[in-house]
Amino acid sequence: MGIETEYGILVPGDPAANPMILSGHVVNAYASAHGVRSGRASWDYADEAPLRDARGFEINRAVADPSQLTDIEDPTLANVVLTNGARLYVDHAHPEYSSPEVTNPRAAVRWDRAGELIMLEAVRRLADRPGLPPVNLYKNNTDGKGASYGTHENYLMRRETPFADIVRHLVPFFVVRQVICGSGRVGIGQDSRTPGFQLSQRADFFEVEVGLETTLKRPIINTRDEPHAVADLYRRLHVIIGDANHADVANLLKLGMTSLVLALIEDRAMTRDLTLVKPVATLHAVSHDPTLATLVTLRDGRQMTALQLMWEYHDAAAAYLEARGLGGNHQTDDPDTAEVMRLWADLLTRLGNDPASCAAELDWVAKKQVLEGYRERDGMDWSDARLRAVDIQWSDIRPEKGLFHRLAARGMVTSLVDPADAQSAVTDPPEDTRAWFRGKCLDKFPGQIAAASWDSVIFDVPGRPALQRVPMLEPERGTKAHVGAILDRSPDVVTLLRELDAAAG
C-alpha cells in the first residue's frame, strides 16, 4: 500500500502565479539540495499505461483528456526518485509526493509524514533563494473556489479477483468511510457557494460511480489498470476518493480499514449485500451532514446511517478475522490488524455517542471544533470568508502557521509516529518491500542511476554501451532481507549486477 499527495500551492499576494513553474521550483529546491538527479532521465516511463482500463479495454490516446496522459515526460523537468524510495514530481500543476510501497498502515502513516517534512524543507529552501517568490504549500484537497487535487491510495491486489466484486463491495464503503477519514471543509458544492461545513474535502467533486478519469467526471471507483507489478498476478487498486489527512489515527484507519475490506473481497468473504441506491448523491449527502444523522438507502430497501453501515463493514471484518484465527484472543499474532480493529470500533462507538470526543483522532472533528470556536467568539456564520481562510490555514505545512500543527504542538492530537521515525523516513526506505532496493541503490550509486520507477532501476554502467535495467515486478522482492547482503558487499554497480545475476540464476 502507499499514499500519493498533491499539495496545494500558493504565492501570497500573487494569485496569477504559474502553479506548474512554482511546483517545479519546489521539487528542484529539494532535489538540488540533496544532490538528487532531476532531469530527462529521472523517471522510467516504459511500463506506464494510464489509459488501460480494468474493465478490459484501453482508451485511444487521441480522445483521452490530456490530464490522463501521465506517461508523458514532465515539461518542468522536475521529477525525481528519492533515497527513501518515494517519487517527488510535478503532477497536474501541483508538487506531488508519492510514498514508497509499505506493508502495513503504520508504515504508510510514517512515510506520508516524511512527505510533509520533505515539502516543508523545500518551502524553506525556496524562501532562502534570491529572485524566487515565497511559496506556501497546503496538505489539503481544494482551494475552496472550485479546484480540487488528489490524495490517492494504492493497494496491491490479486489479479484473479473479479473487478465487478471490487466495485460492488467498495462503493458503499467509500461512500461512508468519510465519517472517519474526512478532513472537513468549509462550504458546500464544488465552488463552496452554499454556506456550511461538511465532512470531506473531496466528496462534492465526484460525479460517477466507476470510470478511468481522475480530474474530470471523477469516479468513486477508479478503473486505471496500471499494476506496476507482474500484470498476470496483480492489480494496483488506485483509490482517488480519499482526503489528505493530518491526523495520524484517521490516516491509519483510512489505509487499515480499506485493506481489510479488500481482504474480504479477495477471499470472497464479503457476503453482505450493502449496495446503495444512488451512491453518488448519497456520498454528497453524508458529507454535508456533520450531525451524522443522514439515512442511506440500500438496494434491498433498508435504511441506516453512515455509522451503522460502517459497523456492517467492521462486523464483517471481525467475523472474517475470527474465522481465520486472527480475532479475539489471537489478535496479538497480528498487531497491525488488531490496532486497526480496535481503533475502528472505538471511533465508531464514540462518533455515535459524542462526535466531539474524537477531536484528537479525526481531522474533520478537530477542524469543526476550531471553526466553531471562531464562530462563537466573533459571531460569524458559515458564509463568512474568514472561515474559509481558517480552513486553508488549517492545512499550511509550516508548523508555525498551520492550525493543525499548532494543535499537535499543544498535545491536542494523538500522534502515532515518533518525530525521529518520521525524520529517518525522509531518507531511509522501508525494509520489507522493493522500495528498499530502489532507495538504497539511489543512495549508494547516485551517479550510475540513469532512471528508476516503481518496477525498475536502470543503471548507466561504466564501460557498457547500453543501459542495464533491473526489473522489480515482484513488490515483495528487493527487500533488505532479500538483497541487503548483496548490496553491502558490492563496491560498484558492475559487482552489484554480477551478484544479482548469480543470485537469480
Which active-site residues does the annotation give?
Answer: 91
| Residue carrying C-alpha cell 522510467 | 44
Estimate to the nearest angstrom the gap between the alpha carbon of 437 and the chain centroid. Answer: 22
List the one residue out of 74, 77, 22 whose CA is nearest residue 48.
74
Q: Among residues 123, 126, 130, 173, which one has the least CA distance to residue 153?
A: 173
Residue-wise burial string across 36-57, b where 16 or more C-beta atoms lie within 10 A, e elsewhere: bbbeebbbbeebbbbbbbbeee
For residue 414, with 0-12 CB atoms within 10 Å meaning exposed, 13-18 middle and 19 or more buried, which class applies? middle
Amino acid 478 reads: G
Using DSSP's 3-state secondary structure scheme, residue 122 falls into helix
What Rg, from alpha-carbon coordinates, does the chain have? 22
**Number of separate helices (H) and strands (E) present in the chain:** 15, 19
**Please, which residues bridge with residue 98 across strands?**
4, 87
Q: Are 151 and 4 in contact (CB under 8 A)?
A: yes
Q: Is 396 helix (H, G, I), strand (E, B) or coil?
A: strand
| 480's grid cell | 533488505
Please, which residues have CB within 8 angstroms of residue 294's CB and are 6 or more apart in sequence?
Answer: 285, 286, 288, 305, 306
Contact 450, 459 (CB under 8 A): yes
C-beta neighbour count of 456 within 10 angstroms: 18
Nearest one of 156, 181, 182 to 343, comparing CA atoms: 181
Helix (H, G, I), strand (E, B) or coil at 120: helix
The residue behind cell 518520521 is: 422
